[in-house]
C-alpha cells in the first residue's frame, strides 16, 4: 500500500495535450457521452480527469469524450505521479468497476427522484433512462414522506439530527 501520494492538485489542461489510454476496456456509447455532456452543462465539470505524467487518461475517458463533444478548450485534471505501469492499468479498471459494485437504496432513491421531479428538475440529467424512471416514479404509498423514521421539525430551530439509515449525526438548522 502506497499512501505517499503528494497532495492532489487540479490543473486545467488543453484537450490537445491529453490522450486516451489505448487499452481502456470501458466503452462509452454516443448516448452516454451525450448524457455526460448534458451533466457537465448543468452542473459544471465536477470530476477532474485522472492522468499520468504523460497526459494519458487513467480515469475519465467518458468525460474527455464529452469535453470534445462540447468543444471545450481545456478540462480539469489531476496528475497521479509515481504509479507503476501495473498500478496505472489496474486503476483504469478499478475506477470503473468499483462504482459498479455499489447498489441503490431504492426506497430513498424513489423518494429523492419524486422530490426532485416535483420541483420541476429534468430527471434525464440523473442518468436514468425513461423506462427506469417510469419504474422508480411509480406512485408512492400515501403522502410523499421520506422513508424511515424522519421526524418533522421547525426549520428555524437549531436541533440535533440523526440519519435513521446510516446513523450520521449533525446539528444545526436543516438546509
Mean pLDDT of 7-20: 95
Q: CA-to-CA distance for 110 and 123, rounded, in angstroms?
A: 12
Domain span holding position 157? 148-175
Q: What's this model's pTM, rounded to 2 decimal places?
A: 0.74
Cell of 101: 459494485
Res. 1 pLDDT band, cuts 50 70 90? very low
- Answer yes or no: is 4 within a domain: no
Domain shared by 17 and 89, yes or no: yes
- Answer yes or no: is 91 within a domain: yes
Give the rounded distance of the alpha carbon of 87 from its chain centre: 23
Q: Answer yes or no: is pLDDT of 4 > 90.
A: no
Partnered with residue 19 across adjacent β-strands are 56
Determine phi and psi for 64, rounding to 5 degrees: -65, -45
- Answer yes or no: is 129 within a domain: yes
pLDDT value of residue 154: 44
Domain shared by 55 and 14, yes or no: yes
Domain shared by 29 and 91, yes or no: yes
- Answer yes or no: is 77 within a domain: yes
- Answer yes or no: is 2 within a domain: no
Residues 146-155: pLDDT tens digits?
A: 554 443 434 4
Domain shared by 78 and 132, yes or no: no
Please give the tally of structural domains in the chain: 3
Domain shared by 77 and 123, yes or no: no
| Residue 64 CB neighbour total at 10 angstroms | 22
- Answer yes or no: is 3 within a domain: no
- Answer yes or no: is 60 within a domain: yes
Domain shared by 56 and 109, yes or no: no
Q: Give the least confident one: 58-67, 70-79, 119-128, 135-144.
A: 135-144
Amino acid at each position: 500500500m502506497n499512501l505517499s501520494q503528494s497532495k492532489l492538485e487540479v490543473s486545467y489542461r488543453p484537450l490537445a495535450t491529453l490522450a486516451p489510454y489505448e487499452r481502456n476496456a470501458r466503452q462509452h456509447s454516443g448516448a452516454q457521452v451525450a448524457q455526460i455532456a448534458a451533466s457537465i452543462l448543468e452542473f459544471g465539470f465536477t470530476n477532474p480527469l485522472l492522468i499520468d505524467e504523460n497526459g494519458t487518461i487513467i480515469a475519465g475517458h467518458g468525460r474527455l469524450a464529452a469535453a470534445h463533444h462540447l468543444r471545450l478548450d481545456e478540462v480539469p485534471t489531476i496528475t497521479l505521479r509515481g504509479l507503476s505501469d501495473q498500478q496505472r492499468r489496474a486503476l483504469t479498471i478499478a475506477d470503473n468497476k468499483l462504482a459498479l459494485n455499489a447498489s441503490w437504496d431504492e426506497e430513498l432513491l424513489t423518494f429523492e427522484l419524486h422530490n426532485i421531479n416535483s420541483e420541476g428538475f429534468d430527471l434525464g440529467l440523473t442518468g436514468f433512462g425513461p423506462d427506469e424512471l417510469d419504474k422508480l416514479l411509480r406512485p408512492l404509498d400515501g403522502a410523499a414522506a421520506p422513508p424511515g423514521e424522519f421526524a418533522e421539525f421547525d426549520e428555524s430551530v437549531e436541533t440535533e439530527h440523526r440519519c435513521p439509515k446510516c446513523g450520521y449525526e449533525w446539528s444545526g438548522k436543516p438546509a
